[in-house]
A and B are shown apart, each in its own frame.
Chain A
Amino acid sequence: MIETFINIILFAMLVLTALAIVRIDQLFGVVMLSGVFSLLSALLFVTLDAVDVAFTEAAVGAGISTVLMLGTIALTARTQKKATRSGFVPFIVVAVTGAALVYGTLDMPSFGDPNAPAQLHVGPEYLAGSITDIDVPNVVTSILASYRGYDTLGETAVVFTAGIGVLVLLSGLARRRREDEEEEDA
């Protein structure tokens, strides 16, 4: 009962934050509210039993992502121009997409159903195997690093590639331009 109550409060705050982000023109406020959104979603992850995910979301979404976005608006612009287009066509697009997604959920098992297909296969085997094969109490760690080690290797490679991409876009070009100028001076 108390869990449902907490969920409803968190949802209400998430929706309010999202609507405020739609309306506000000051980008500083938008970035701060997106940090708030991340923190609220981290709370929701805790009520959904995903403590590892909540931890990551709180550190990444509310921490690093806010810093990077503030850095970006410091380098670009502080406000957005007033919207000139009407919001009607986007609203239709969003409503149709949302209706299609809701239609898709109608066949899904109920929230928290222990007999849902997602709960019957693979998951229980990992839960049991984590005791016998790996002997690690945190099942999330044992799946992340051992059962699904290939996945995580791929994800690490993606993080690596994105980092290289940012370096090429921002620092690499600056250095090349500086070298060009030095050549012109010489």
Chain B
Amino acid sequence: MTERQKLLKRVQMFDFILDELNLFLDTHPTNKQALNNFTKYQFLKNEAVTQYMNKYGPLRAEDFAGGNSFNYVNGPWPWERED
């Protein structure tokens, strides 16, 4: 696994936890434990996204950090395999 894949996997992991909590909270909107976990993992996810972006560029166009080239367009795109 490349360094880029490792950092991306952390983002994917925290994002997945948030996705799961999101669906659970949709049907249990006042569950205290889930609410606390949501806040906790929001923080960890943002930290992982920042770590990734600092090295490999934005995952969302809106997170473009400025410069001479719009590096959001740079590959690899998600469906591409890294050999």
**Are A and B associated in one complex?**
no
Q: Interface residues, chain A, CB within 8 Å of chain B?
A: none
